[in-house]
Amino acid sequence: MKKIFIGALLVAIAITLAACGAQKGVGQNADQGEAFKGSIQDLITRGKSAKCVLQAKAGDSIISGTTYISGKNARSDFQMTGAGEAATNGHFISDGTWMYSWNDVSKDQAVKFKIDEMQNPEFKNQADNSGANNYEDQMDYKCYPWSPSSASFVPPADINFKDFSAMMNQLQQQTQGLNNLPGGNSAMCAQCDKITETQAKASCKQSLGCK
């Protein structure tokens, strides 16, 4: 399941910290599209409405994807796969403040989180497993003009997005409260097992180094 969210999103989802610098907007052709290398945040910063098709490479976990940009809004729909696993469709939507991430296999693990909190290293370490890394990853695209559709940036009404930002804040408070418990790390890990929400439990155990 961790692999699903890492790819998810890519976009983010599963798609998008700099590997090759900021070589963006390399060339443009009306028929072939504009070659662009950068992150989804870079695409938003350009201020252009565009449909950008991911130029996936052999061996990548994300085998295809398309990102739509309009103002501060972004949406990515992508397909990813892992070793010995069937391809999975993932999605994320960003409205400039919140990021919504989900996939078609486990919609019950859909999450949302505040974009500005991704700059917090402790938060980012946990959020990456839920698609946050896709927002900043440097990727190769071919971008084409696109007429925005507001409906493209509306999160699905039938999905209950867990507030990952709230879960992380709750987790930090719980961890602080457990520091003085007898039994050290074992006692704290036992408290993680009492968390009913799957993703929050996994994040708790990872942050404490539980087995």
149-202 confidence digits (pLDDT tens): 888 999 999 999 988 877 776 666 665 555 555 555 676 677 778 777 676 677
- Tell me the per-residue pLDDT of 83-126, one tens digit each, with 9 for 90 and over: 667 888 989 899 989 989 898 888 888 888 888 877 666 565 55
Partners of 103 in beta bridges: 90
138-154 as b/e: b if 16+ CB within 10 A: bbbbebeebeeeeeebe
List Cα–Cα distances, 54 to 17, 45, 63, 155, in angstroms. Answer: 17, 18, 9, 22
pTM of the model: 0.66
What's the burial of 189, exposed, middle or buried (CB within 10 Å: 0-12/13-18/19+)?
Answer: middle
**What is residue 196's three-state secondary structure?**
coil
Token reading at 155: 């999160």
List Cα–Cα distances, 200 to 1, 10, 47, 165, in angstroms. Answer: 13, 20, 35, 11
